[in-house]
Amino acid sequence: MKRKIVIFIFAFMPLVLGAQKNSFDKVVGKTAVNLEPGSFRFAIGAEIHNDKWGYGDYSSTAIPLDLSLGLTDNLEIDLGSRYNKAHAFVDGVAMNDKHSYHDMYAGVRILMNPHTMFEKPAYGFWLGLYFPVHGYETWKPSAQFLWSSAINDEFSWNFNLGLSYYLGKQEYPLGLQEKVHPGAEVSMNVEVGYKITEAFKLCSGLDMEEHFLGDRYFQGGGSQEIEEFSSWTLVSALRLKPVDLPLVLDAGIRVGLNAGARDSISFFIQFQIIPAGSDAVW
């Protein structure tokens, strides 16, 4: 299984990244890691989901929060959470017994080429840790490779490739099952953007997650390996940047592309406050 994941990563990356190499001659590098020292970016959103879960499909509401602080030309601190609360089955039956999840995290973004980012694609890394708030959450270290650029200030693209691992077991009663160890996950995000006007940008992309090395634990001490699964989701959004205002608004939709997708369908909006002194590209 480990060999399969490694082969997948190294086989897929050249297909996505290598296809762009002919367009590198005339680009304006763009990246999420471009805050000036002492500046910040704040984001808050709202999401309505129709998701997959152990009991079947259910609907939920999520509130993501994120605060990024520019420390140096190379370093950005990232703090945030994603509160997710299930509130009803698809048929409307209340789910009063379902837990809420917080997904709280702290991390750093490291930009490797800040002085040449306007001459060639910008790349860097995100290193972070998700920490538990309840017994049904657990520690999860995570690392991502970040790569992004733009072509003639009209088309932009972003590529993220990450690896995360759940360190502990989570309380998840289901029949004889007491706990689960989610194991590891490989994630990939690809996004392409087109700047329609100075105020509007259309973005579309693909989110993928591959889960493996998970286990279920039962009453009496038995355990069973969780079958690996993949989640593929199509994401499309319209981005609005009001002229002369330090605000960016995203509104979009996510559509699951396979049976294991986290989202059957979901809608989201997000507000970002980016002061002019932050010099952050939208």
Say if residue 152's pLDDT is above 80: no
> Average model confidence (pLDDT) for the chain?
77
Highest mean pLDDT of the ranges 11-20, 169-178, 205-214: 205-214
pLDDT band at residue 199 under the 50/70/90 scheme: confident
Give the ranges where 77-236 is alpha helix by DSSP (H): none
Question: Can you name the residues that pair with 155 across neighbouring β-strands?
Answer: 151, 194
The model's pLDDT over 202-260, given as tens digits with 9 standing for 90+, comes to 989 999 999 998 888 888 888 888 888 899 999 999 988 887 788 888 899 999 898 87
What percent of the chain shows pLDDT beyond 70? 74
- Residue among 64, 32, 35, 36 nearest 48 (CA): 64
Owning domain of residue 50: 2-278
CB atoms within 10 A of CB 244: 7
Q: Which two tokens stand for residue 186?
A: 């490989």
Q: Can you list the alpha helix ranges (DSSP code H) found in the chain?
A: 2-18
- Inter-residue contact 49 to 59 (CB < 8 Å): yes
Domains held by the chain: number: 1
Please tell me which residue, 115 or 253, carries the higher pLDDT value: 253
Q: Residue 162 is part of a domain; what is its CATH number? A: 2.40.160.40
Please tell me the distance from the alpha carbon of residue 67 to that of residue 42, in angstroms, as a whole number.
5
Q: What SS3 class is residue 14?
A: helix
Residue 19 makes CB contacts below 8 A (sequence gap 6+) with: none
pLDDT reported for residue 21: 29
